[in-house]
Amino acid sequence: MTAHATEEMAEDDLDIVDVEHAVRTGRVAKIQRDDPRGNRYVLEGTATDSATLVGVVGRFLASGRYLIVTVYKVAAK
């Protein structure tokens, strides 16, 4: 997880458990292919309260690990 993701998580009153839950319960909502560093995968899932929708943006590194670039609460539609 990047420092930016940690800051954004705190700004939206989320914690690491919420992010983990969103990744585990979420789905790939979008794949952004316009970054020269590689595809970014936008996941959307719920926080631990099962009501708050959380967005998690990241990319897969050469090692196969998923690097979380940013985290945010998804605004109600």
Whole-angstrom distance, CA of residue 73 vs CA of residue 11:
10
Domain ranges of the chain: 3-73
Q: Is pLDDT of 57 > 90?
A: yes
Q: Is pLDDT of 76 > 90?
A: no
Return the amino acid letter for 56: V
Per-residue pLDDT at 6: 96
Average pLDDT over residues 35-62: 95
Whole-angstrom distance, CA of residue 50 vs CA of residue 40:
25
pLDDT digits 0-9 by tens, 3-37: 999 999 999 999 999 999 999 999 999 999 998 98
Q: Is pLDDT of 71 > 70?
A: yes
3-state secondary structure of 38: coil
Report the candidate in 33, 77, 25 with the shortest Cα–Cα distance to residue 59.
33
Mean pLDDT of the chain: 95
Query: pTM for the whole thing?
Result: 0.90
- Beta carbons of 25 and 43 less than 8 angstroms apart: no
